Amino acid sequence: MNEYAAAGRAGEIGRAYGLFDCSSPIGAIEADIPLIRELVLTPPEVGLSLTEGDPTHGYRYTLGVAFPSASNRAASSEAVGALNQIYQSPHFRRGEPFVGEIVR
């Protein structure tokens, strides 16, 4: 567990949301989630969920992160790692700008 996880209290769940635009279909990104978890060393207790549509912020996708017994900051750190890896994947063309943000 990283240094930020210690800031969470037992029974609490740190939450963060990675909002981003991407031209790949949701199923293609979802299929890569296990590999992304492995590449960025996502702890097994961290839940990742990808949904389409974000009416509040206007992005195409939302990557939800739930990190038991951790802080929202720790969950945000996991979201950043996952989004960085998605950006480095074939879902983005070389040089294509990344448009997104992390909210917690």
What domains, with CATH codes, occur in the chain?
12-103 (3.30.70.600)
Cα–Cα nearest to 100, from 39, 12, 16: 16
Low-confidence ranges of the chain (pLDDT < 50): 1-4, 6
Checking phi first, is residue 95 left (phi over 0); if not, alpha (psi -120 to 50) or beta? left
Residue 4 DSSP symbol: T
Q: What string of DSSP letters covers 38-67?
A: HHTT--TT-EEEEEE--TTT--SEEEEEEE
| pLDDT of the residue at 2 | 47
Residue 21 DSSP symbol: -
Q: Give the model confidence (pLDDT) of 46-76 as tens digits.
A: 999 999 987 788 999 999 999 999 999 999 9
* CB-CB contact of 69 with 2 (8 Å): no
pTM over 0.85: yes
| pLDDT of the residue at 55 | 78
